[in-house]
Amino acid sequence: MAKKISPMDIYKLLPRLNCGKCGISTCLGFAAKLVERTAKLEECRPLFEEEKYRDSLAQLREILRPPVIEVRFGPPGREAVVGGKLVLHRHELRYMNPTILAIDVWDDIGEAELESRVRFIENFKYTYIGRELKLNALALRCRSGDPSRFQDLASKISKLTDLPIVLCSLDPEVLEAALLRIRDRRPLIYAATEGNWRDIAELAKMYRCPVVASAPGDLSKLRGLVKALNSEGLDDIVLDPGTFIGDGLAYTVNSFTILRWLACRQGDRLSGYPILAIPAVVWVDEEFKDKPEEAKWMEAVLTAMMITRYADIVIIHGVDVWQLLPNLILRENLYTDPVKPVSVEPGLREFGSPNDKSPLLVTTNFALTYFTVASDIESARLNCYLLVVDTEGLSVESSVAGRKLTAEKIASAMKEYRVSEKVSHRKIIIPGLAARLKGELEDLTGWEVLVGPRDSSDIPAFLAKYWKI
């Protein structure tokens, strides 16, 4: 069983100077932050600046090594970071480094289709509760078996985009041809297998690139392959236990789960690496070969399953928006901090071109609530003010029930953000779900409090009927 780290384990190895150079007043406080993974070891300057702490630094690095190590690939400034996982279940702490969604391109693709596909992948984005969701990488597949064609594809891709790249071939000659052209992009090499691992290990060392260890269908063989790569001095490794559908789907789900359980619960170093899934295998399966719509659906479902079953990278083929968007949103929700609700900064927002007679509305700083209200206001092209109250990221109903949204908090926010300087009237509209706060807020502020609709989509109709100045 992997030993749980305590702040005292860390504190004993810190300089214990309480110098505050890390931004925290005591070394014990810094140790607690390191355990929570909210501080970085590099922030303790004496550890890195003074030779006498060299042994302690080495021990701390070993203790703080995550159960699943972090692997990086891609060009400087746009690196893809995978792994770095600390826990098996997200409620234990949180998941680090969201799953990378890599879209495939192939070396016998037409010039126009290649440019169109890369442009779509590069420009695809969707704003979800204030965050931009994007695709993250390209997987270059060698379908021709021709090193020169694969090399040409790598060259073309390097001119079209600076997205991180996964090079996909089991032929070392093919991989090296591409590496010669894009070594500065530090691609992820796919893949080292039982039959080629020595040659692939040499490539990984020569070009200083991370490598995928692949042993589909055999976890014991996969761990042995990792051990062999470790013996060659390689530690930037990604695991491919195989992605199967049909009768093999249960194995796929189980193997991903077992690998992550071995790493996080048993402290198994040979399993403690990021995991790669390839939902794109659906497209070459006999069952779906001539059924593109069914293949798209199955690939989308398999992608969702792999994201929830610890995949750190998924390689997919379909690029229909209905396939991509649900999985991007799933990933975003899975990788938020379950202890800390997604929130926005409190404050007074202006919509349209409000004046001193414009309506003043109230909402909470829960991101989903705020962006829903903001979207409804913008869609109706209203000119108004919106007072966003700090409720520690809770929705209206939850914050009223939990005393995070109270008359006192609204009154305090009104004073802090000087709403009386923005409007000449003395009217404020609270959410319908916060109706119970009306009387107390009127007593505290002397303002007239209107109880607005329960659903923000009804705000335009409410204002048209009740806002009279």
Q: Domain segments of the chain: what residues?
A: 7-64, 70-334, 347-466
CA distance 378 to 380: 5
Tens-digit pLDDT profile for residues 26-51: 999 999 989 887 888 989 999 999 99
The mean of the pLDDT values for the chain is: 95
CA distance 344 to 348: 12
The CATH class given to the 7-64 domain equals mainly alpha
- CATH of segment(s) 347-466: 3.40.50.11600
Give pLDDT, residue 237: 98
pTM: 0.84
What distance, in Å, lies between the first and last C-alpha atoms of the chain?
A: 68
Contact of 383 with 353, CB cutoff 8 Å: yes
The amino acid present at 126, given as its one-letter code, is Y
Burial of residue 2, with CB atoms counted within 10 A of its CB: 0-12 exposed, 13-18 middle, 19 or more buried: middle
Give me Rg for the CA atoms of the chain: 27
> Residue 361: which pLDDT band, with cuts at 50, 70 and 90?
very high
State yes or no: pLDDT of 1 exceeds 70: no
State yes or no: pLDDT of 2 exceeds 60: no
Give pLDDT, residue 295: 97
Greater confidence (236 vs 341) lies with: 236
- Considering the segment(s) 70-334 as one domain, its CATH architecture is Alpha-Beta Barrel (3.20)
| Listed residue (68, 63, 51) closest to 15, CA to CA | 51
